[in-house]
């Protein structure tokens, strides 16, 4: 897996990069793309803009994915027309964004995003118009509405594989940055100086990892080299934006590989500082639990089953929680209040980095709270827990903990059997708990269980919170 991070190839990759003013043009006989493969709405937008006298192309991920025989999730258009000019051509168009001003053109449920060609930012601060472009002291771009030519637009894009322009009218590909070459060689490469490009937008480090995991590509060595040093810059990114980026990282079907790369490149720490600390003091358990959860998530996505960010974040943050709970219990706080207080503290800290919405933080806390309640099965407690709307997610999370090596004295197996039992069998199971002295409400003992009965597949765990 980690061999993806650093790959070097012979010419032309070791040459010093230079800006190309003319593209390599691939005619229809030199590539596999056909206009019929693309969204008819996107193709119509390109044709209408060209007929109105503007340059317009399909660009970026849809061109890249089509060349790789991957079905694109969306179709983007780049044009010489300004957002206002695009809106004048399409009644169903809407201008959005401040940092990046874009146009969304609506066709029922399908939305085609149209962006105006952009230029690079002025290097001299005195030349910078803050109404169009601005940076902070570290070089991060705060506003990016400097319009430019097609050539300038190609050079300001992040990766070579995303700087491909397809004209569905002439069926030609314009390649300004050797993007087709890098696609053929399975390589993620930044356009321009990597340090400067990461300083302009630190999220590009996360995008490099996401594309490498998604496409099974390597990250070119010069593109990878500055990442560890610049990783702390992610702390400057607004927490709401990081939430969206983390969902892309972990809910695209390649979360397990993504996690390994984030840890190796030291990008996990600025995203999940408490969990990164747990990786240091309890590496085997932390790594196993998170990896198991992400493998299960990837499997559910491949099976077109629902997944929920709540269960995902519950797993990513859980390894940092028990230590905090024990600290509060040592101060005399009862187990359930200690769990609730530690959960509140941990989630509050995490939301300063990644703005997890309340619609997910509440289920996270309920899933964790169930971990203290599930061992308490005496009397009518088991039936009440079974009726709890969060039982399924809590039970699946218990199985995840056990698969990571936690010793629960067979608690997961007991609950598996209890769900399958009839009423009289359930009463007998409760009586057996009393005869074993387990009716006090204490949590499970820390000893290895035999695990004789096969439980429900843990692959169902990642989506249970949303079912």
Question: Which position among 74, 264, 369, 383 bears the catalytic label?
Answer: 74
Count of beta carbons in the 10 Å neighbourhood of residue 61: 18
Tokens of 192: 């321009």
- Per DSSP, the three-state class of 55 is coil
Question: Which position among 65, 144, 153, 158 bears the catalytic label?
Answer: 158
- Annotate 193-206 with b (16+ C-beta within 10 A) or e (fewer): ebbebbbbbbbbbb
- For residue 458, is the peptide bond before it cis, meaning its omega torsion is within 30 degrees of 0? no
In degrees, to the nearest 5, what angle opens at C-alpha 467 toward C-alphas 408 and 273? 60
Task: DSSP letter for 159, please.
Answer: B
Task: Give the C-alpha separation, 421 to 428, whole Å.
Answer: 10
- 76 is a catalytic site residue: yes
Handedness of CA 252, 257, 260, 264 (dihedral sign): negative
Handedness of CA 99, 77, 118, 198 (dihedral sign): positive
Task: Give the C-alpha separation, 104 to 83, whole Å.
Answer: 10
Of the candidates 198, 263, 196, which has an alpha carbon nearest to the alpha carbon of residue 237? Answer: 198
Sheet holding 110-116, edge to edge: 24-26, 172-175, 164-167, 56-59, 76-79, 110-116, 102-107, 93-96
Please list the helix, strand and coil fractions of the chain in percent, rounded to the nearest 5, in that order.
55, 10, 35
Query: Is 361 in contact with 387 (CB distance < 8 Å)?
Result: no
- 144 is a catalytic site residue: no
Query: Is 301 in contact with 250 (CB distance < 8 Å)?
Result: no
- Per DSSP, the three-state class of 31 is coil
Bridge partners for 141 per DSSP: 135
Tokens of 205: 């480090």
Q: Known catalytic residues? A: 74, 76, 158
């Amino acid at each position: 897996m980690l061999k993806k991070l650093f790959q070097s190839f012979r010419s032309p990759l070791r040459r010093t990069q230079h800006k190309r003013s003319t593209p390599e043009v691939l005619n229809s006989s030199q590539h596999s793309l056909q206009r019929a493969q693309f969204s008819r709405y996107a193709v119509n937008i390109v044709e209408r803009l060209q007929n109105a006298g503007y340059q317009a192309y399909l660009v970026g991920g849809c061109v890249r994915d089509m060349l790789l025989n991957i079905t694109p999730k969306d179709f983007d258009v780049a044009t010489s027309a300004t957002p206002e000019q695009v809106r004048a051509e399409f009644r169903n168009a809407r201008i959005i964004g401040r940092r990046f001003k874009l146009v969304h053109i609506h066709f029922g449920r399908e939305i085609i995003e149209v962006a105006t060609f952009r230029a690079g930012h002025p290097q001299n601060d005195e030349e910078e118009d803050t109404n169009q472009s601005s940076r902070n002291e570290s070089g991060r771009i705060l506003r990016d509405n400097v319009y430019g030519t097609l050539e300038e637009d190609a050079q300001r894009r992040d990766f070579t594989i995303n700087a491909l322009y397809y004209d569905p009218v002439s069926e030609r590909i314009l390649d300004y940055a050797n993007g087709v070459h890098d696609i053929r060689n399975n390589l993620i490469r930044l356009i321009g100086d990597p340090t400067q490009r990461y300083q302009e937008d630190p999220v590009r480090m996360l995008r490099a990892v996401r594309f490498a995991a998604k496409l099974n590509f390597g990250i070119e060595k010069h593109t990878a080299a500055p990442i560890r040093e610049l990783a702390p810059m992610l702390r400057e990114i607004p927490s709401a934006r990081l939430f969206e980026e983390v969902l892309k990282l972990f809910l695209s079907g390649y979360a397990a590989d993504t996690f390994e790369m984030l840890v190796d490149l030291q990008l996990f720490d600025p995203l999940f500082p408490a969990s990164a600390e747990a990786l240091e003091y309890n590496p085997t358990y932390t790594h196993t639990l998170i990896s198991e959860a992400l493998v299960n998530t990837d499997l559910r996505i491949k099976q077109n089953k629902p997944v929920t960010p709540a269960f995902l974040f519950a797993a990513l943050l859980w390894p940092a929680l028990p230590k905090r709970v024990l600290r509060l219990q040592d101060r005399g706080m009862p187990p359930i209040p200690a769990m609730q207080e530690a959960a509140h503290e941990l989630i509050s800290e995490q939301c300063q980095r990644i703005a997890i919405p309340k619609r997910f933080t509440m289920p996270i806390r309920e899933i964790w709270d169930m971990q203290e309640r599930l061992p308490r099965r005496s009397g009518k407690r088991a039936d009440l827990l079974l009726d709890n709307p969060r039982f399924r997610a809590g039970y699946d999370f218990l199985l995840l903990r056990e698969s990571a090596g936690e010793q629960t004295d067979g608690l997961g197996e007991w609950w598996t059997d209890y769900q399958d039992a009839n009423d009289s069998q359930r009463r007998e199971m409760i009586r057996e708990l009393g005869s074993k002295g387990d009716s006090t409400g204490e949590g499970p003992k820390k000893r290895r269980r035999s695990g004789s009965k096969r439980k429900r597949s843990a692959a169902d765990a990642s989506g249970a919170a949303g079912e």
